[in-house]
Structure 1
Amino acid sequence: MRLHSITLLLLSGTSTSVLAQEAPVTAGPARDVVRDQERDRESAEAGAPSEIVVTARRRTETAQNVPIAISVVDSGQIDNTGSFNVGRLQQLVPTLQFYSSNPRNTAVNIRGIGVPFGLTSDGFEQGVGIYVDDVYYSRVASATFDFLDVAQIEVLRGPQGTLYGKNTTAGAINITTNQPTFDFLGKAEASIGNLDFKQVKAAVSGPLSDSIAARLALSATSRRGTIFNVTSGNWINEQDNIGLRGQVLFQPRDDLAITLTADYSSQNPECCGTVYVRTGATQRALNRQYAALAAAQGYTVVSTDPFARLTDLDSELNSGNKLGGGSIKVKWDVGPGTLTSVSAWRFWDWKPANDRDFTGLPIVTQSQNPSQQDQFTQEFRYNYTGSRFDFVLGAFGFYQRIDTQGTTRHGAASSRWNINPSNPLANDASVLDGVTAYNTQWLKSTSLAVFGQASLKVTDALTVQPGIRVNYDKKSGYYDRTVFDGQGNPVLFGQTDPAKLAQLAIFSPQRSETEFGGWNLSYDLTLSYRLARDILAYATYAKTFKTAGINQNGLPADAAGNPILSAGTIKPESVNHYEAGIKAQFWGRRATLNLAAFRTGIEDYQATVSNGQFGVLRGYLANAEAVRSQGVEADLSIRPSERFSAYASGAYTDATYREFADAPCPPELSGGAIAGPGQTPSAPGTPGGISPANCDISGQRLPGVSEWSFSYGAEVNAPATLLGQAGQIYLGYDGSYRSNFSSNPSPSIYTWIDDYDLSNIRVGFRHDDGLNIYAWVRNAFDTEYFEQLSVAPGNVGLIAGQPGDPRTYGLTIALKF
């Protein structure tokens, strides 16, 4: 950790995973939260924060009473730190990992597990569930959108399948938006900054009649890109987001609330491009590695310094992305409990364009896989809360259809780049120029489940909490790829013309259809014991599953170019999870300390792998025999008075492949002749060497996981008057640190991302009546870091990357009325 971060960490004090300062106000029937009134009065008089109210267990309760490792971030923390999407949220929640090369290829993991790191396939499930107002978002692309009128975010760590509609093997992100109110209120916010940053947010809420209230919210964000493309003359990787949400609450009587919600969001940036980072020696022949291939075509990259933020990508770039839907939520107090119904439809349209060769040469001139998704969900829940016994029973139905139409085309530089220079065809640009693969695919997915969790208070101190889930999943998929040469003639197996064989080495026609269905049973047991009034200890065991998957993006091919059909499906994951923790408050509840230790073992872990073939650009899915994630987490927050607060959260995560004996090899062990019987593979990076058919990466770290991660911050304020109005001036700091991590599914010496730390600073004035004006600096020390590194296809040794944001600064004015 760099010196300035160590100093600021010491100054900021310590922390918490519970970052929120107050609970959101919601409309509709809700049960009272039981509190110790006398202790609350004492805490309030000392300036301690109010209790943080959560709905993690599908009922309203305080966060410190929930025997789950949970991080809570409120709207104020989101605004203060500029955490306007899940990607920014990981700077506040150390155990959350977010990786995105574009919205479709986005991964959200908790404790290093959830979804495979790398290019995304439609054919597998998300291990981290994203819920907005109880509606499940099946596409993790939704995590790249701006948060819209959010009241609070709860990040639940560990399996949550006995509480939530869709099975979640790694955790859940539970987002609650502000709800319609019967009192008129509103808020507006505007921000400007460098890089032409502009952002506006607004929301208004109020009654339409005695029983109907409505709320309307919108947000818009734009920012110039952070990389300059000398080929197009444009700044790329920009932000261009618009979001709109409308809600109508119908509350004809106190025990019934019906909420209708509709939302729409769009992104249309010129994104997502990469910069040259480095080259690394592979086991290809030396004249077929990057330096020789580039020299043969007289190509020189625009800059070898990635933080010059220059690129020369020559293909169209686009990241068009639309997402939205509608829902009806009914809450009805029935007898001793509450019945909830959530019906929802959501859509997602994706219109991308990429440069998949990562160079300014016309090798791959078009690469796009536009897709359209529709999903329908229905959830029923019945919650009962009693003095000694609570429970939730639920049923969940899910249907999804995804259609994709892909096009990948090679250009004039492809022949000399991909055909062996000793072959005369390498000098004939027409051989591969215009070779095009079209793929059509669809996926249908159905999931049905019943689930429940009970909480029995055996004594005043001991509570037993069992849970169970029965799940049925069915998936069917279709994939068809056709290939044509530059003159529009089909490229088929059985053709003997040398040019056709060269084209088949780039793309081969494929067709596959897969269908499966299966049941699984999940269960968990939590014991919690109140050691003292403000100290809760808990221990959990959970057995859960992630359903089987389908390879939807093309299959690896054998030596003859035929698809390996056995790779069409992957086995379900089997998860065993153990966790123990302590939640404590002390110093008159001015301080909160939460500790957790966990160990998660996964058999048949679903991994994304790549074998370097152009025909498998997106990678494919495979099972690693065993994976384990274990670690410890600590969260501490203090608020000794209303003038000062501080937090710090830290996590140590040891996430490794326990057994993966036949994994694809990293680039330094790829590209050579495959070792035959009795042959010994060459040392890594030996040009023209002998490559192993597969590599044993057992014991190596999972991609994307830092062993150490921290977030920390503090805020101090003082009474002040501005323009005759009483308020507070304040100074705030938020920092985060991540140790190094691998950016390739099979760890490579070329794709480790170094440790980095980020610092955000804000200074401003809050008016007691709702005005907040502040200046902010993010990445204040202009740290140079990568969000992700990528290995170029073809085993040429090129490594490209996406630099993280440079220092940004600006001004925000917010008003509540």
Structure 2
Amino acid sequence: MGRRIACLLLAGSVLGGVNAPAFAQTAPATSAAEPAAQDELQDIVVTAQRREERLQDVPIAVSAISGADLEGRQIGDVNALAANVPAVTFTATPYGNNDLILAIRGVAPGGVLPNVDQAVGIYVDGVYYARPEGSNFALVDLASAEVLRGPQGTLFGRNTIAGALNLTTNKPRYEFEGSLKASYGNYDALGLTGIVNVPIIDGRLAARIVYSHVQHDGYGYNPALNGPVADQNDDFVRASLRADITNDLRVDLSFDYYNGVNHQPLWVLAYYQAGLSPANLAPYVAAPRSRVSTAGINPLNRSTVYDFTGTITGTIGEVTFKSITAYRDIDFEGASDQDGTPIPNADVRNFTLAGHQITQEVQFLGQAFDDRLDWVVGGYYFREQIANSPISRVGAVIQDNSINPDNESMSVFAQLTYEFLPQLRLTAGARLVQDIRKMVYTPRRFAVAAAFAGMAEAPASAITPAACPFTAIGLNQDPSGCRYRPPNIKFSYVPFTVGLDYRLAGDGLVYAKFSRGFRSGGFQQASGTTAAFFTPFSEEKVDSWEGGVKLGLFDKRLRLGLSGYYSTYSDIQQNAILQATPVVITTLNAGEAEIYGGELEATALIGKLRLNGSLGLIHPKFTKGPFVGSEVPTVAHTTFHVGGDLPIEIAGAGTLNLHADYTYQSKVYFLNTARVTATGTVPYTPFQIASVTQPGYGLLSAQVSFEFERLPLTLAVYGKNLTDEYYAGRAGSFYGNNYNSIVIGAPRTYGVSATYRF
């Protein structure tokens, strides 16, 4: 079935491109803002429903930020974007800034390994990124960034149970233009971004090339190994080509390449309970606000990612057609000393993630009944093949937990919006999805001689092969090695949405809707010690009721968006720590939860002062299953953002632009506050819970820039985390042993920049 759908989609792509008769020259380029008078707010155009619409007309809780605002707010990566949006929480990963974990409205993924899908779908120019590696650099030269909150499975599909991040890059234009930006800051931070747009054939062919380099010294230091930690050295290139082959046919081609190299994050041993924690850890407990690493290894993490995307757009009669074909390749190799000490309690000595994905999507969009009906239908095919080898060392045991997932997904979808009464519209849509999951486990085990069990580096002569872990539990399918391939598993589900919206007099919209979203099930990790551990987990489901209102007031000087929701979350995919040493983690369908909350977004123009702010409130609660009574992890109950921009014109010289913003998130529990055992659920102690808790904190940033009137030059002074907040971006999983480590976030940074445009 999957191969037939794939062939049909690819054939439709080719035929649609050949026959498309009337689109390319007349279609507007995707943009986050339309021109507006100086005394009113710009209209924001989004593609949250797969077509260009004003933000005020879309019955979805969506935040949209233009490319200019991304630069003005110093939003250079997905983490910074998340901090500017209500009800979004981000968590660091063990391997640095090449990866991230996103949660929206209390729905979060259980981990970062490729056996588990993400809860927030990341889309760049309509292409789904199954693995978030390299997505931070997709924010370079963006036209817009949209964050859609709540289940988005009907139009976006692929594991958008929490929401979707929809990024649109700037496309080639038919004029010569470009820019060069250079910045320098503390920690020897250096940034270079170059953009050049070249018209090749006037009105028919244009190219755009973007290059960006970012580097800084370590935010921490390891004196024993005489090396930096939490440093950065990244390069990114994007080359785009737009061809309006005829007045009726447009083709967009894009290639991007990302290469990142950094030492591991700053892990420090922040929690230690005397008398209960292992005594040999005592000398390595971090001092308050310490940025000194005592890790026994300081590995380099290397990421290489490249993407190819081809988009064909046209029309067939009155129907718009779009085909999006993409290939994505990921190669990551790194390691991490996650307890932050020279004792090998939790050393991930090698972590490789290599593989690729292919995607093909076709969309048909149109209108009918005197434009009272908007409709979109389409089909989607996805295939991902990944090899993942996490090799960890805990004392005298070396575990190679290699897995080789092969994930395939096919779907067809449709959504209709019909104005059945003046200003009153009904929207209904559904997607039929089938996922096929395949897995091959090839774990190996090694033993370290007792004399070297406590040393960070054991000689090769002290390491000997141990028995295959599958042999003892009856799963080994390779008598001469170690291999287990379980039967394939299939998941079929139907995410859908239905809702009503009413356009208010003036510039307003009120809406109510119900959405059902799913996240696919899958296979377990490879660290289990029993056959029962390898039982696959099932898909999870969110039912979400949502209502909202969007208002434009005072002659477009004030824009408000208010939404409220109630969600039931069932068959929740939760990580459970079954064994403390060595750590054994399983993914359980751990009962149910209810989540309710609300969000407010506001933008106001007072004279030339533009103010923006947002507030997100979330109340999550487990209602059924082993975690009832414990805290829901990876959720900030309160998030808010406030910011302001003030341009001051200096006659004959230029414009001075002042910007400041403050983002806040409340307390977050990084991991579960109870442990599942064979005899029941056991709550962790207050000390153990504190070690996986980050209290609320806020980050203050500011920028002052000057645009010269007679020169295409802008000079700026900037600062981030100006109050030098000391906070954790992640916690280790050692709290069951009464100690724990954390990853320390970025300190105060500041610098200067110069941008020349031509």
Match of 2:116 among 118, 124, 136: 124
For residue 727 of structure 1, report the CA deviation from its aligned partner: 2.1
Give CA-to-partner distance per residue, 1:641-683, whole Å, 9 cap, x none.
3x2100110011112222232xxxxxxxxxxxxxxxxxxxxxx
Under a length normalisation based on structure 1, what TM-score does the superposition of the two structures give?
0.81
For residue 509 of structure 1, report the CA deviation from its aligned partner: 7.9
The sequence identity of aligned pairs, in percent, is: 25
Match of 1:255 among 235, 240, 248: 248
Q: Is the aligned partner of 1:544 residue 2:471?
A: no
Name the counterpart of 2:18.
none
Q: Is the aligned partner of 1:527 residue 2:500?
A: yes
Name the counterpart of 1:711.
641
How many residues of Structure 1 are paired with residues of Structure 2 in the alignment? Answer: 690
State the SS of the aligned residue for 2:128: strand
Within a 5 Å distance, the mapping from 1:586-665 to structure 2 comes to 586-616=553-583, 619-641=585-607, 643-661=608-626
Within a 5 Å distance, the mapping from 1:738-753 to structure 2 comes to 738-746=665-673, 748-753=689-694
Name the counterpart of 2:309.
327
If asked which structure has higher relative contact order (CA below 8 Å, sep 6+), I would say: 1
Q: Is the aligned partner of 1:221 residue 2:221?
A: no
Match of 1:179 among 128, 152, 171: 171
State the SS of the aligned residue for 1:703: coil
The 8 Å contact of residues 569 and 592 in structure 2, kept in 1 or not, is answered as: yes
For residue 627 of structure 1, report the CA deviation from its aligned partner: 2.1
Give CA-to-partner distance per residue, 1:6-55, whole Å, 9 cap, x none.
xxxxxxxxxxxxxxxxxxxxx9456579xxxxxx99x726x112211111
For residue 384 of structure 1, report the CA deviation from its aligned partner: 0.9
Range that drifts further, 484-493 or 271-280: 484-493
For residue 535 of structure 1, report the CA deviation from its aligned partner: 1.6
Give CA-to-partner distance per residue, 1:125-166, whole Å, 9 cap, x none.
222111111111110223344622111100011111211253
Match of 2:283 among 293, 297, 300: 300
Match of 1:397 among 381, 389, 398: 381
Give CA-to-partner distance per residue, 1:454-487, whole Å, 9 cap, x none.
1101122100010011001000111122223245
The 8 Å contact of residues 481 and 509 in structure 1, kept in 2 or not, is answered as: yes
For residue 628 of structure 1, report the CA deviation from its aligned partner: 2.2
Name the counterpart of 1:209.
201
Name the counterpart of 2:420.
458
Alignment CA distance shift 1:185-1:609 (3 Å): same
For residue 490 of structure 1, report the CA deviation from its aligned partner: 3.7
CA distance in 2, matches of 1:277, 1:701: 21
CA distance in 1, matches of 2:380, 2:108: 21
Q: List alignment gaps of at least 5 residues for structure 1.
A: 1-26, 34-39, 415-431, 496-507, 558-562, 662-696
Alignment root-mean-square deviation, CA: 2.5
Match of 2:261 among 244, 261, 268: 268
CA distance in 1, matches of 2:402, 2:611: 53
Within a 5 Å distance, the mapping from 1:398-413 to structure 2 comes to 398-410=382-394
The 8 Å contact of residues 296 and 340 in structure 2, kept in 1 or not, is answered as: no
Give CA-to-partner distance per residue, 1:295-346, whole Å, 9 cap, x none.
xxxx611x53241211110124222111112011100122112100011100
Alignment CA distance shift 1:316-1:461 (3 Å): same
Name the counterpart of 2:748.
807
Range that drifts further, 513-522 or 525-534: 513-522
For residue 235 of structure 1, report the CA deviation from its aligned partner: 1.8
- Code of the residue aligned with 1:138 in structure 2: it is A
Match of 2:352 among 328, 353, 370: 370
Alignment CA distance shift 1:493-1:648 (3 Å): closer
Alignment CA distance shift 1:488-1:191 (3 Å): closer
State the SS of the aligned residue for 1:94: coil
Range that drifts further, 160-169 or 319-328: 160-169
The 8 Å contact of residues 221 and 227 in structure 2, kept in 1 or not, is answered as: yes
Alignment CA distance shift 1:216-1:538 (3 Å): same
CA distance in 2, matches of 1:364, 1:99: 20
- Code of the residue aligned with 2:48 in structure 1: it is A
Alignment CA distance shift 1:105-1:332 (3 Å): closer
State the SS of the aligned residue for 2:152: coil
Name the counterpart of 1:137.
129
Name the counterpart of 2:532.
565
For residue 773 of structure 1, report the CA deviation from its aligned partner: 1.4
Alignment CA distance shift 1:30-1:660 (3 Å): farther
Name the counterpart of 2:192.
200
CA distance in 2, matches of 1:28, 1:353: 47
Q: List alignment gaps of at least 5 residues for structure 2.
A: 1-22, 449-461, 471-480, 675-688
Name the counterpart of 1:240.
233
For residue 406 of structure 1, report the CA deviation from its aligned partner: 3.5
State the SS of the aligned residue for 2:343: coil
CA distance in 1, matches of 2:669, 2:347: 29
Name the counterpart of 2:459.
none
State the SS of the aligned residue for 2:139: coil
Within a 5 Å distance, the mapping from 1:719-798 to structure 2 comes to 719-721=649-651, 726-746=653-673, 748-768=689-709, 770-792=712-734, 795-798=736-739
CA distance in 2, matches of 1:494, 1:529: 61
The 8 Å contact of residues 205 and 243 in structure 2, kept in 1 or not, is answered as: yes
Give CA-to-partner distance per residue, 1:76-128, whole Å, 9 cap, x none.
22222322111111221132211122257631111121412xx4221122221
For residue 614 of structure 1, report the CA deviation from its aligned partner: 4.1
The 8 Å contact of residues 750 and 799 in structure 1, kept in 2 or not, is answered as: yes
Alignment CA distance shift 1:362-1:549 (3 Å): closer
Alignment CA distance shift 1:259-1:54 (3 Å): same
Name the counterpart of 1:24.
none
Name the counterpart of 1:436.
398
Range that drifts further, 476-485 or 373-382: 476-485
For residue 364 of structure 1, report the CA deviation from its aligned partner: 5.0
Within a 5 Å distance, the mapping from 1:5-84 to structure 2 comes to 28-29=24-25, 31=27, 44=37, 47-84=39-76
Name the counterpart of 1:113.
107
Alignment CA distance shift 1:792-1:114 (3 Å): closer
Name the counterpart of 1:5.
none
For residue 270 of structure 1, report the CA deviation from its aligned partner: 0.8
Alignment CA distance shift 1:742-1:554 (3 Å): same
Give CA-to-partner distance per residue, 1:272-301, whole Å, 9 cap, x none.
2401212247xxxx5xx425243xxxx611
State the SS of the aligned residue for 1:203: strand
CA distance in 2, matches of 1:494, 1:265: 37
Give CA-to-partner distance per residue, 1:157-176, whole Å, 9 cap, x none.
11112112534211111100
- Code of the residue aligned with 2:424 in structure 1: it is L
Name the counterpart of 1:359.
341
- Code of the residue aligned with 1:736 in structure 2: it is T
The 8 Å contact of residues 269 and 318 in structure 1, kept in 2 or not, is answered as: yes
CA distance in 1, matches of 2:611, 2:568: 34
Name the counterpart of 1:419.
none
Range that drifts further, 195-204 or 316-325: 316-325
The 8 Å contact of residues 272 and 319 in structure 1, kept in 2 or not, is answered as: no
Alignment CA distance shift 1:366-1:378 (3 Å): closer
CA distance in 1, matches of 2:671, 2:26: 47
- Code of the residue aligned with 2:382 in structure 1: it is F
- Code of the residue aligned with 1:594 in structure 2: it is G
Name the counterpart of 1:670.
none
CA distance in 2, matches of 1:261, 1:750: 45
Under a length normalisation based on structure 2, what TM-score does the superposition of the two structures give?
0.87
The 8 Å contact of residues 625 and 659 in structure 1, kept in 2 or not, is answered as: yes
Give CA-to-partner distance per residue, 1:357-396, whole Å, 9 cap, x none.
4312244555222121210000000111452111111100
Name the counterpart of 2:546.
579
